[in-house]
Amino acid sequence: MRTGIEYEDDHIIVAYKPAGLAVQTAKVGQADMVSELKNHIKSGYLGIVHRLDQPVEGLLVFGKNREAAAALTRQLGAGTLHKHYYAVVCGVPVKEQDELTDYMVKGPDRRAQIVPKEQAGSTGAGRAVLRYQLLAVQDERCSLLDIHIDTGRFHQIRAQLSHAGLPILGDLKYGTERSVQLSRELSVGSVALCACELAFLHPVSGKRLCFGIVPGGAVFQGFNQAF
């Protein structure tokens, strides 16, 4: 099983998804996180609360019954299920910390598109808010960012950072010619984005639970002193 179990009880399971493994797929014969966890817990039900893109690694929480999944989903909607990310981007941000606010819509090509605020209503675009802090710079070519998002739009972090001129290394979908070239030079084979921390209230006990990991991608190793 490629999925890693971080925590489990009768109601929830917190697991690590490696880069390259889908959370869920309809493709016959292709492994996915949900199938692996269902086999692990010997149950036909596993409630998906949130997702990560296939090339992204990190932590996810699932409900082992419908009540737990619904409670966690409510926390996600209320903003009390907190997710924290690290990303290695091409370039160095002008500001050491900033808040990005954009309006995004999912395009027909399965790419997130950012549109001007005045077009948000006519296009059905939703508001996307991302906050970052610069943690470290390597060779003036790439930077490690600490990221929090207040919304959960499709491909939000990848699209917003690229739009801000800071494409994530290894991201072929939202990358630029420069970032793709640098990714090749540094042998970055997957999107250098990790959902590294997860915090929420247990759906039954109400106890606050916090989980954290150090990114496993090779590109993050050059920034080990920052973790």
Active site (catalytic) residues: 53
Other CB atoms within 10 A of residue 142 CB: 25
Written as six digits, the tokens of 38 are: 């269902």
Q: Are 178 and 168 in contact (CB under 8 A)?
A: no
Q: Are 123 and 159 in contact (CB under 8 A)?
A: no
Among residues 126, 32, 84, the alpha carbon closest in space to that of 227 is found at: 84
Q: Are 19 and 191 in contact (CB under 8 A)?
A: yes
| DSSP structure string for 43-82 | -S--EE-----TT-EEEEEEESSHHHHHHHHHHHHHT-SE
CA angle 115, 119, 123 (to 5 degrees): 80
Rounded Cα–Cα distance for residues 3 and 62 (Å): 13
Among residues 123, 95, 82, 20, the alpha carbon closest in space to that of 209 is found at: 82
Rounded Cα–Cα distance for residues 59 and 51 (Å): 9
Partner residues linked to 83 by β-bridges: 198
